[in-house]
A and B are shown apart, each in its own frame.
Chain A
């Protein structure tokens, strides 16, 4: 194990500083929102938050002066380290608002936002300012793209090391040959969806009886919560607040689209429409979602929780699609999962959350591509066993192009899947040890670790601080898909024990 040299610290510090400057710049939007609505105290929260980010960012750049470019290990450490610093500093406006019980709670909410999870500990959301609500939703929208992607887009100019930070954030698709252009392509897709989704939700909100200003703001925030598969909403009732099937359908379209791989979006964008039905991730998503919806519908219909078939399907599809895409929007009370849906309904939702949606998207969880690859590998092995010894069995899967299934790909998919399963077990056991029933502990723990945000009532300000801290780590690990976090841990150990 090699002890990092001074040059390594400098290059990591320099690039981390850049990302944090990006976070500070992002606070301009909630600051302007607060000023526009004469929320003076909230505006000060954001001035303080921005100044703290700039002090860290410019100070670090000043102190960490080096011409050295990033290596792979640096990129991974910058990605995971940036998320920690961005969470610590991004929590300032939350904490200063007075709506958080502690700084830990504020950091929980910010990590939840960046990781597009959607669980929150903020208290009295229904009296929160427009500025703070803008920040909550912007966090999740920006986190969905990846805060490193933001920095790549606006602050890095053609560095060869940029791709290494980009990969460290859990994204590895190159839509275009240049990673900066890839980051910009991701933004292009997201902004076009933002324009259409925002307009549709705002018009619907106005038609549902909201004032024009509130319809516009709610439309924007709900879009951000849906597209980023974040699940934050401006009212404590989440999307049940709107009591509208049209609003639900729009949300479902947006969060399902948001959960698709950016490579899929780019393929469709460039005219390859058949990709939607051929891609291994959309096929996997369709199969698992349909199976789980059927299971939950059968159980809830038999228990007569809802009075007619249309209502059962509407409720089940919305909650499960929201869970499967790791969005976390809901049209039922959190505790209704326990008091109405029962263990089987909760189990179906937990499985949906655990699987999650597409890789290189705003979604979390194990991801459809890994489920698809493992399923293909399973059938490949069955076919191999049934074929004559001399036969050569080849299996392909389709992801933008046809790819031959190789052992290395299967092994990587299995490794990451196993890491997720272990994480799910750890958070479940921790929940049980904290005194929650096992089904509730599993539901909430998987929701945090898969970055979903559906709650059955465990995540509350009075939950044990240790469990809050564990959920923060689980959200971070789940979003960055382990490797860059392991690199950061390894970096820390090598600083102490390396030679």
Chain B
């Protein structure tokens, strides 16, 4: 019985230690506010009020431009990560929020970098008409942009493995390997 208690105790301690010590906590500092007078949150929260209004909207281009003939879809996020993302050390600032933008494909081609795990995307400013339920696009909420300018170019983000994780990964793998060998030797492995 003692062996069992020791084993489950060790597993519990291991999990707590992992949770507590393995992750570099986000650096201090508040997440930035939306750069827009009317943020994506405001637009969604007051759809009727702003429907059909010309708005200027700024945000990080994420994902990709999806060209459809002479036009393209892009997505601009004006959330806590539009200047810097978590991989670069940005503090957690909630979930993503932004706006889909329908823009000419020529203008969309000006965007050089789109945000993803390995990139912080270009910050883009568009001016266009906000639609709460666009009649041209199946009722989607969007902005039909007439102008597009690049406010700041995006950049690559380095995926640096954290040394503490490496140490934990090696130590736990060795422990798992040892238990596997012991299990095979004593119980005959996975046979039910």
A binds B: yes
Binding site for B on A (CB under 8 A): 18, 21, 38-45, 47-48, 50-52, 54-56, 58-59, 61-63, 65, 88-89, 92, 95-96, 98-99, 101, 103, 121-130, 155-159, 162, 208-211, 214, 235-237, 240-243, 245, 305-308, 311-312, 314-315, 331-333, 335-336, 339-340, 460-462
Q: Is B68 an interface residue (CB 8 A)?
A: yes
Q: Report yes or no: B140 in contact with A243, Cβ–Cβ below 8 A.
A: yes
Q: Is B182 an interface residue (CB 8 A)?
A: yes
In angstroms, Cα B190 to Cα A88, docked, is: 22
Given contacts A41-B161, A124-B86, A210-B66, contact A308 B97 (CB under 8 A): no
Q: Report yes or no: A311 in contact with B192, Cβ–Cβ below 8 A.
A: no
In angstroms, Cα B26 to Cα A231, docked, is: 29
Give the contacting residue for B96; candidates A209, A236, A245, A306; CB below 8 A: A236
Give chain B nearest CB distance to A303 CB in angstroms.
Answer: 10
In the bound complex, residues from chain B placing their C-beta under 8 Å from that of A462 are 94
Q: Is B30 an interface residue (CB 8 A)?
A: no
Q: Report yes or no: B23 in contact with A314, Cβ–Cβ below 8 A.
A: no
Q: Report yes or no: B141 in contact with A333, Cβ–Cβ below 8 A.
A: yes
A-B contacts besides A41-B165, A311-B138, A460-B94, 12 pairs, CB < 8 Å:
A40-B159, A40-B160, A48-B18, A55-B175, A96-B22, A123-B86, A123-B94, A126-B62, A158-B192, A236-B77, A307-B139, A331-B140
Give the contacting residue for B45; candidates A162, A235, A307, A339; CB below 8 A: A339
Given contacts A65-B187, A306-B133, A314-B139, contact A88 B47 (CB under 8 A): no
In the bound complex, residues from chain B placing their C-beta under 8 Å from that of A65 are 186-187
In the bound complex, residues from chain A placing their C-beta under 8 Å from that of B132 are 340
A-B contact pairs, 19 of them (CB 8 A): A40-B159, A42-B117, A47-B172, A48-B172, A55-B14, A55-B175, A63-B7, A126-B116, A127-B115, A155-B190, A210-B66, A214-B64, A241-B100, A243-B73, A243-B137, A307-B139, A332-B139, A460-B94, A462-B94
Interface residues of B in 118-171 (CB under 8 A from A): 118, 120, 132-133, 135, 137-142, 159-162, 165-166, 168-169
Given contacts A62-B183, A339-B46, contact A235 B192 (CB under 8 A): no
Give chain A nearest CB distance to B118 CB in angstroms.
Answer: 8
Given contacts A127-B87, A127-B117, A214-B64, contact A54 B179 (CB under 8 A): yes
Give chain B nearest CB distance to A473 CB in angstroms.
Answer: 20
Q: Which residue of A lies closest to B170 (CB)?
A: A47
In angstroms, Cα B6 to Cα A75, docked, is: 26
Q: Report yes or no: A55 in contact with B176, Cβ–Cβ below 8 A.
A: yes
In angstroms, Cα B48 to Cα A129, docked, is: 36
Q: Is B67 an interface residue (CB 8 A)?
A: yes
In the bound complex, residues from chain B placing their C-beta under 8 Å from that of A461 are 92, 94-95
In angstroms, Cα B60 to Cα A127, docked, is: 11
In the bound complex, residues from chain A placing their C-beta under 8 Å from that of B86 are 98-99, 123-124, 127
Which residue, of B73, B137, B172, has the highest number of chain A Cβ atoms within 10 A? Answer: B172
Going nearest first, the 8 A-B pairs with the smallest beta carbon separation are A209-B66, A51-B172, A236-B96, A54-B176, A58-B179, A127-B85, A311-B139, A47-B169
In the bound complex, residues from chain B placing their C-beta under 8 Å from that of A54 are 176, 179-180
In angstroms, Cα B187 to Cα A124, docked, is: 45
Q: Report yes or no: A59 in contact with B162, Cβ–Cβ below 8 A.
A: no
Q: Which residue of A lies closest to B95 (CB)?
A: A123
In the bound complex, residues from chain A placing their C-beta under 8 Å from that of B141 are 240, 332-333, 336
In angstroms, Cα B133 to Cα A339, docked, is: 12
Q: Report yes or no: A18 in contact with B24, Cβ–Cβ below 8 A.
A: no
In angstroms, Cα B133 to Cα A307, docked, is: 8
Give chain A nearest CB distance to B140 CB in angstroms.
Answer: 6
In the bound complex, residues from chain B placing their C-beta under 8 Å from that of A460 are 94-95
In the bound complex, residues from chain A placing their C-beta under 8 Å from that of B15 are 52, 88-89
Give the contacting residue for B186; candidates A56, A62, A336; CB below 8 A: A62
Number of B residues with CB within 8 Å of any CB on chain A:
79
Q: Which residue of A lies closest to B119 (CB)?
A: A127
In angstroms, Cα B139 to Cα A245, docked, is: 11
Q: Which residue of A lies closest to B81 (CB)?
A: A124
In angstroms, Cα B91 to Cα A101, docked, is: 10
Q: Report yes or no: B165 in contact with A39, Cβ–Cβ below 8 A.
A: no
Given contacts A55-B14, A62-B183, A214-B64, contact A44 B169 (CB under 8 A): yes
Q: Which residue of A lies closest to B91 (CB)?
A: A123
In angstroms, Cα B44 to Cα A38, docked, is: 37
Give chain A nearest CB distance to B159 CB in angstroms.
Answer: 5
Given contacts A52-B18, A157-B192, A315-B139, contact A39 B117 (CB under 8 A): yes
Q: Is B191 an interface residue (CB 8 A)?
A: yes
In angstroms, Cα B18 to Cα A88, docked, is: 12
In the bound complex, residues from chain A placing their C-beta under 8 Å from that of B117 are 39, 42, 127-130
In the bound complex, residues from chain A placing their C-beta under 8 Å from that of B182 are 58, 62
CB-defined interface of B29-63 with A at 8 Å, one 1/0 digit per residue?
00000000000000011111000000000000011
Q: Report yes or no: B14 in contact with A52, Cβ–Cβ below 8 A.
A: yes
Q: Report yes or no: A103 in contact with B19, Cβ–Cβ below 8 A.
A: yes
In angstroms, Cα B16 to Cα A92, docked, is: 11
In the bound complex, residues from chain B placing their C-beta under 8 Å from that of A336 are 44, 47, 141
Given contacts A63-B4, A130-B117, contact A209 B64 (CB under 8 A): yes
Q: Report yes or no: B67 in contact with A209, Cβ–Cβ below 8 A.
A: yes
